[in-house]
Structure 1
Amino acid sequence: MKQKIGHTWENFLQRRYGVRLGRRYALAAAGIVLMGVLGCSSVTDNQSAVAQPSLPASESQIKSKKPVPDAKVVAASNRFGWKLFAEIWKKDSKKNIFVSPSSVAIALAMTYNGASGTTQQAMGKALELQGISLNQVNNAYSALTSLLENPEEKVQLKIANSLWAKKDFAFKSGFLQRNRDFYQAKITNLDFQDSRSAGKINQWVEEKTQGKIKNIVDTIPANQVLFLINAIYFKGNWTQEFDKKQTANHPFFLASGKQQQHSMMSQSGDFRYYENQQFQSVSLPYGKDGKISMYIFLPKRNTNLNNFVKTLNAGNWDKWMTSFTKREGLVRLPKFKINYEIQLKPALAALGMGEAFTDKANFSAMGKNLAISQVKHKTFVEVNEEGTEAAAATSVGIVATSARVPAEQPFRMIVDRPFFTAIRDNQTGSILFMGAIAEPK
């Protein structure tokens, strides 16, 4: 009898813990953040607390011993993204917008490692990092990168960091080492007076983004001393690809009321779907496991995209993400391909980072007499029947000085007017890309 009980318990353990798990999740978003750095002031390394991951670890994470990113840092990155998008919307509300908040946040986190005093405080506030130690930030982004950069079938995600330093310029060793240790940054010394130096940086960026981002550095000013670059490339096929035979021209209505004929993809099936009085929304997953999705939010005809953007914030987003349920329906979505470029300095200054752009900036944990001169962001995205390809680049210059609802009828979501979209990692909740599409091209 004892042997039988023992055998039964052993079988239970094997059934409970010996199951084969699905592949790690798929990331979809391409972002590149390039940060150029030049001169600032003086301070000490700070914050030594070890990150305390607050996301629950899955059985697959435990077995693979993958680190779990601190949920507080992921949430902070998302809050920063919503604030940044709101500032960009003020300037470009009539254009197509597509940005990578995660990419910008990682690049600024690398720079944050060199900030001190009131400059560090201002950057921490803008980045929503108050109350989070520098070590927590660094450990969280290290863990997040490790978790995201684990492609599955039909999904590619590549993340790379590099520092391009002016030859013979003295940087604090602690600043360089933190970027090596936590961001796996490749550090290269260059003669910035050599006309070929910009080409070498651009070649690295182009290679890491599969040719989607080019010429992020036009010229290197005489007072330039450093470029910090974060490059992200994403390519994901839909879990259920659109049938090209169903693609046809249909009208798309611009905010002005003007009508255009546009190539629209169509698909019927079961989707994660949410609708309220203001909008319809659908989740379109990538890869075999669907751990990364593109979310489409379509304002209803009695409102518009401008009114929808006013409701975008962390609280509403989190509430919406828990409201999706599986439902049968039809989705018609325009194919589109967009290149976007913006100078982020005004938006970041409006978020409270203004000091970092002045001669009062304190980047003494990086080196002497340094300040941020510009923040340039470039992105690319293409959406078609197979899936999505995306990339982003941010150049920061630093200068010296659910369940099915059977009772409901199948929905119809015809995306034939301006809409909002986001690419989200569903496991961590990290928002990789977001954009407002006024006119698909």
Structure 2
Amino acid sequence: MSVCSGLWERELSEESTDRRTFLGKKYTKVVMMHRAGLYRFHEDVDNMVQVLEVPLWGGKASLMLLLPFHVENLARLDKLLTLELLSKWLKRTAVTSAAVSLPKANITSALSLQLAALGLTDAWDQKVADFSGMSDQSKGKLHLGGVLHWASLELGPKAGKGEADLEEENVEQPKMFYADHPFIILVRDNATGALLLMGALDHAEGELLHDEL
């Protein structure tokens, strides 16, 4: 699965970028993208986290960003996060003036899926499985040797086709969503509510400044 920067509903223009410090596992100098506009936004003061929802695919999906109030690793937020709490946050989001700053980054993940542990055992058994119908070059039965799941998400400035000329919205007294430290990323299908992707950015590639304090 791949989600790319060209799926923003409204772009973060190349002119609205500069180089700033990302306070991750290592402190690095990265390109930060900025845009002011109207977004669905919520601040959970008790759990010290900001929730921002950004439209994708013309509103067919949403990018959800969970940003701790302060610089910290994501262990606390990861332990805190449940589907029930996520649903509560989404219900409490409201259209709000927000000034959004995000690092330009490319996030990838490759996982070997252990489906046999979930009970799907026959597909790996060369005596039982038969996937020969999937190949016109097979001279015998075929079985699975492994299943690899690969996902990529690019945080970049470009919007979807036809959206590049949209101007930055005029907003007054915006809430600040300044993602210069680790945050959690989710992609949600708005029609079904299904989570299509979940990940985190705790390190951004760039010029190394110094070790974490």
Q: Normalising to structure 1: TM-score of the pair? A: 0.37
- In the TM superposition, 1:20-419 aligns within 5 A as 31=1, 236-255=6-25, 258-277=26-45, 278-288=48-58, 290-301=59-70, 303-345=72-114, 353=118, 355-356=119-120, 361=121, 369-370=128-129, 373-387=145-159, 410-419=174-183
Higher helix share: 1
Please report the RMSD computed on the Cα atoms of aligned residues, expressed in angstroms: 2.8
1:369 CA displacement:
2.1
CA 1:287/1:341 → structure 2, altered by over 3 Å: closer, same or farther? closer
Q: Secondary structure at the match of 1:321?
A: helix
CA distance in 1, matches of 2:122, 2:9: 47
Runs of 4+ in structure 1 over 6 Å off: 232-235
1:432 CA displacement:
1.3
CA distance in 1, matches of 2:10, 2:44: 25
Structure 2 residue identity aligned to 1:378: W
Q: Normalising to structure 2: TM-score of the pair? A: 0.72
Contact 2:5 2:158 in 1 (8 A): no
Q: In the alignment, which residue of structure 1 is the partner of 2:189?
A: 425
Aligned residue pairs, count: 178
CA distance in 1, matches of 2:201, 2:5: 19
CA 1:279/1:304 → structure 2, altered by over 3 Å: closer, same or farther? farther
CA 1:417/1:234 → structure 2, altered by over 3 Å: closer, same or farther? closer
1:373 CA displacement:
4.7
CA 1:416/1:376 → structure 2, altered by over 3 Å: closer, same or farther? same
Structure 1 residue identity aligned to 2:103: P
Contact 1:236 1:286 in 2 (8 A): no
Q: Secondary structure at the match of 2:11?
A: coil
Q: Secondary structure at the match of 1:369?
A: coil
1:266-313 Cα offsets, whole Å, 9 max, x none, are 01121110111321121111244x221111111121753111111222
Q: Secondary structure at the match of 1:284?
A: strand
Identity %: 29
CA distance in 1, matches of 2:145, 2:82: 29
1:379-438 Cα offsets, whole Å, 9 max, x none, are 2222211148xxxxxxxxxxxxxxxxxxx9521111011111111111211111111111
CA distance in 1, matches of 2:61, 2:154: 16
CA 1:234/1:246 → structure 2, altered by over 3 Å: closer, same or farther? closer
CA distance in 2, matches of 1:381, 1:337: 6
Contact 2:22 2:30 in 1 (8 A): yes
CA 1:303/1:387 → structure 2, altered by over 3 Å: closer, same or farther? same
Contact 2:3 2:153 in 1 (8 A): no
CA distance in 2, matches of 1:417, 1:238: 21
Rg (Cα) greater in structure: 1
Structure 2: stretches of 5+ with no match in the other structure: 130-142, 161-171, 206-213
CA distance in 1, matches of 2:3, 2:22: 29
CA distance in 2, matches of 1:235, 1:384: 5
Q: Secondary structure at the match of 1:272?
A: strand
Structure 1: stretches of 5+ with no match in the other structure: 1-30, 32-231, 389-407
